Structure 1
Amino acid sequence: MAFPVELRHCQALGLAGTAFLALGGETAGALPVRELWAPASVHAALGLVGVYFGIVLLTAAWLFLGRLVRGPRPPTPRALLLVLALWAAPLLLAPPLFSRDVYSYLAQGAMADAHMDVYAHGPDRLGGPLAEEVAPMWRHTAAPYGPAFLALASALSGLTHGEIPAGLLGMRLAALAGVALMAVALPRLARHSGADPAAALWLGALNPLVLLHLVAGAHNDALMLGLLGLGLVAAHGPRPAAGAVLVTLAALVKVPAALGLPVVVALRIRSGDRPLPAVLTTAAASAATTVAATAVAGTGYGWIGALGTPVSPHNWALTSLLGRATGALLTRLGSGLAPLAVPAWHLLGLAAAAVAVLLTARRLRARPVYALGLSLLAVAVLGPAIRPWYALWGLFLVAAAAPGTPVRHRSAALAGVLALAVLPGGGPADPGQLVLAVSGGVLGVVVLWQALLAAQAPVPGRPA
């Protein structure tokens, strides 16, 4: 069914979507413990319906905007950045949504500020109100993040004096800064890769997963991706050493970004540098950045050992699912190897991810940014833990360097499905909550359908 789409319609529809997300989050979001509503309460139920109603509106606005981007007169990158700012605005003061990780960030920052070893102890060692906000499964878990992020979290803790509302706002502003860096980097990477800058912004920055999880969820993946993107832009320029510094800082937020360092080397070689000097200068810049960031954070090098931080036993990563199924089968057979099933599958997954990275880099040697995007997707899918926003590790760079429209279509479909994958409170779903979530989504589809029918209906006195 054909219908006219204008930029202002997309702006209004997406704004309505994020407004419903923010309003629904007031009772159904990842609220501070003292403000949590009982899941069965009317307010929480209405909030959950409202959040999924908003997700449908936002996703529809994004898809309509994609139609404009592919049309004969696509919006300019500047116009798309204004759309991003408009859609993100209602989420800035909303409670955390879809995850309680931001409370872990605040607790770990307070620990670092108090000179506690965040790589040896979990937030339970901190105690107090912040530790109570951390999800129970993570209270005894050491920080899995690098010193660059912990230095930021520590500084924020000092500024906010441990006050939760101020800390939440600070973390969201930090995530928003990361999204801004992503938006700055995307058009530039697209031009270097021969891709469409507007299409790159649409898929990589206006993606519902960015708004739901990086802005509303305030995840530090935003900073990792923003620094990684900016580093790759710098690696294309006259000062490639700055690229190595920025990519290293991204890896010192979350370690998957370290895969960007070989891409920095590859880009330097393509620009005319000899291989050995390119490798040595990139390694030297990365090592110096690591030493400096670790010294500033004051956390020591415990972050290297913390890379093995255990994952949730109920994680739905592919290797975790296979490990649990194998363990259950071995238990039924009476084998004593059952406890080794999950670790064994995790190791197999990491080995498969390493092979996928090497094969991708070899096959797509001429398109290193695109190869990096696919490699990060492989790491997210085959790693021991996965969350919906992990898909953004790869989608961000696929958006910047995808070789054609079909790749973007498949990436958009993946993003649309993952946008519906997590409840706004961040916890596991019960049947009643699933019914409410589906009801909110169906309501959104019905309202959109009726609005489209009304838009197509002939107006008396107007030529058909």
Structure 2
Amino acid sequence: MAFPVDLRHCQALGLAGTGFLALGGETAGALPVRELWAPASVHAAVGLVGVYVGIVLLTAAWLLLGRLVGGPRPPTPRALLLVLALWAAPLLLAPPLFSRDVYSYLAQGAMADAHMDVYAHGPDRLGGPLADEVAPVWRHTAAPYGPAFLAVAAALSGLTHGEIPAGLLGMRLVALAGVALMASALPRLARHSGADPAAALWLGALNPLVLLHLVAGAHNDALMLGLLGLGLVAAHRPRPAAGAVLVTLAALVKVPAALGLPVVVALRIRSGDRPLPALLTTVAASAATTVAATAVAGTGYGWIGALGTPVSPHNWAPTGLLGRATGALLGRLGSGPAPLAVPAWQLLGLAAAAVAVLLAGRALRARPVYALGLSLLAVAVLGPALRPWYVLWGLFLVAAAAPAAPVRHRSAALAGVLALAVLPSGGPAEPGQLVLAVAGGALGVAVLWQALLAARAPVPGRPA
């Protein structure tokens, strides 16, 4: 059965999806401790069902929009940017969703603002209401983020005086600014890479993972990716220092963006610079930016040692899963090296990621942005920690530079599956919550089917 698809229907369906997300999050989201509902309460159950209805509607709207983008009369990049703004609007004032990381950001910003060493102590040292909001597994963990992000978080803490509602809004605005930078960079990167700007925006910015985790979850990955994208755009122009500065700032938010620096060098060489000057200019600009950002943040260079911050023991990265399974097997056999299983698998994963980065760079020398996207995807999947939004590190640049439609289709399928992977509270799933999530997804499919039938029904006075 064929259904009519137009931009207006996609706008309305996606807006309904994010509206359900915002409303459901009021009782099922990652709320402040004093506002949390018991998972078994009626309010939390209704909210959880509502969130999954919203995810289904949003994902369907995105996929239908993808049909338009790949059709004979695709919407313009400007029209897609308006769709992004419309879909994101209900999430602006919604509570945090799918993660409690934003509370860690606020606590670390308050610590930096109070001149406490965030790389030596966890938020428990701060104490008070902010520390109470941090997930227990991270309260005693030092900050794993770079000085550029901590400078932003400290400035926000000073502006909001540690007030949680104002801080949450401020962090969401920072994340929205990062998404805006991503959306600004995507069409330009696509043109430089010979890709379709509209398709790049659809996959890289309107992606449900962006809205669910970067906007609703207010993750600092949005700022990292926005700065990385702008840095790569600048590297295509006769501004050798600007690209290196922006990519370095991205790495000083989260370190995986540092893989963009060799790409800056490669792009400068492609633009006509000689290899040695291109390399030296990039290294000098990156070093100067690092020194300046660290001085402004006032955090010192403890962030270098913090790169080894431990990950959650229940992280679902493939290397972690294999390590825990191997450790359990060795433990049953009475083997002494059982505790070494997880670190061993993580080292193997990092080695495999390094090989993947080298192979991608060598095989795709003519497409350095695409190679960087595949490299970041390998780092996310093979690294010691994996969360759904980490996949956006690579997906963002794959969207901008993918050489063929099948690559975008496979990426879209991955994003659609991962959109369903985390509960809105950000906590571990209980059996009852999984049943409610499935029920919400089924209800969302029923609502979607009725909406599509209504769209297909003939309007009186209009030819069928």
TM-score, normalised to structure 1, is 0.99
Aligned runs of 1:266-281 on 2, under 5 Å?
Answer: 266-281=266-281
> Are 1:174 and 2:157 counterparts?
no
Stretches of structure 1 lacking an aligned partner (at least 5 in a row) = none
Q: Alpha carbons of 1:450 and 1:283: their partners in 2 closer, same or farther (altered >3 Å)?
A: same
1:399-441 Cα shifts (integer Å, max 9, x gaps): 0000010000000000000000000000000010001011111
**Alpha-carbon offset, residue 462 of structure 1:** 5.3
**Alpha-carbon offset, residue 76 of structure 1:** 0.6
Match in the other structure for 1:193: 193
CA distance in 2, matches of 1:462, 1:166: 50
**Alpha-carbon offset, residue 451 of structure 1:** 2.5
CA distance in 2, matches of 1:140, 1:404: 46
1:218-274 Cα shifts (integer Å, max 9, x gaps): 000000000000000000011121000000000000000000000000000001111
CA distance in 2, matches of 1:160, 1:233: 33
**Alpha-carbon offset, residue 317 of structure 1:** 0.2
Deviates more, 1:447-456 or 1:101-110: 447-456
**Alpha-carbon offset, residue 331 of structure 1:** 0.4
**Alpha-carbon offset, residue 157 of structure 1:** 0.5
**Alpha-carbon offset, residue 3 of structure 1:** 1.4
**Alpha-carbon offset, residue 51 of structure 1:** 0.2
Q: Alpha carbons of 1:222 and 1:440: their partners in 2 closer, same or farther (altered >3 Å)?
A: same
Q: Alpha carbons of 1:174 and 1:458: their partners in 2 closer, same or farther (altered >3 Å)?
A: closer
CA distance in 2, matches of 1:367, 1:71: 26
CA distance in 2, matches of 1:453, 1:57: 14
Is the CA contact 2:15–2:86 (under 8 Å) kept in the aligned structure 1?
A: yes
Stretches of structure 2 lacking an aligned partner (at least 5 in a row) = none
**Alpha-carbon offset, residue 446 of structure 1:** 1.1
**Alpha-carbon offset, residue 455 of structure 1:** 3.2
TM-score, normalised to structure 2, is 0.99
1:81-126 Cα shifts (integer Å, max 9, x gaps): 0000000000000000000000000000000011110000000000
Q: Percent identity?
A: 93
Other structure's SS at 1:73 match: coil
1:168-218 Cα shifts (integer Å, max 9, x gaps): 000000000000000000000000000000000000000000000000000
Match in the other structure for 1:25: 25
Q: Alpha carbons of 1:115 and 1:452: their partners in 2 closer, same or farther (altered >3 Å)?
A: same
1:53-105 Cα shifts (integer Å, max 9, x gaps): 00000001101111111111111111100000000000000000000000000
CA distance in 1, matches of 2:68, 2:443: 25
1:17-49 Cα shifts (integer Å, max 9, x gaps): 000000000000000000000111100000000
CA distance in 2, matches of 1:253, 1:208: 23
Is the CA contact 2:240–2:278 (under 8 Å) kept in the aligned structure 1?
A: no
**Alpha-carbon offset, residue 161 of structure 1:** 0.5
**Alpha-carbon offset, residue 450 of structure 1:** 2.3
Aligned-pair RMSD on alpha carbons? 0.9
Match in the other structure for 1:58: 58
**Alpha-carbon offset, residue 454 of structure 1:** 3.5
CA distance in 1, matches of 2:412, 2:30: 26
**Alpha-carbon offset, residue 453 of structure 1:** 2.8
Q: Alpha carbons of 1:462 and 1:314: their partners in 2 closer, same or farther (altered >3 Å)?
A: same
**Alpha-carbon offset, residue 459 of structure 1:** 5.6
> For this pair of structures, how many residues does the alignment match?
464
**Alpha-carbon offset, residue 275 of structure 1:** 0.8
Is the CA contact 2:240–2:281 (under 8 Å) kept in the aligned structure 1?
A: no
CA distance in 2, matches of 1:451, 1:180: 30
**Alpha-carbon offset, residue 448 of structure 1:** 1.2
CA distance in 2, matches of 1:463, 1:245: 58
> Are 1:68 and 2:101 counterparts?
no
**Alpha-carbon offset, residue 4 of structure 1:** 1.1
1:334-356 Cα shifts (integer Å, max 9, x gaps): 01101100001110000000000
CA distance in 1, matches of 2:108, 2:325: 34
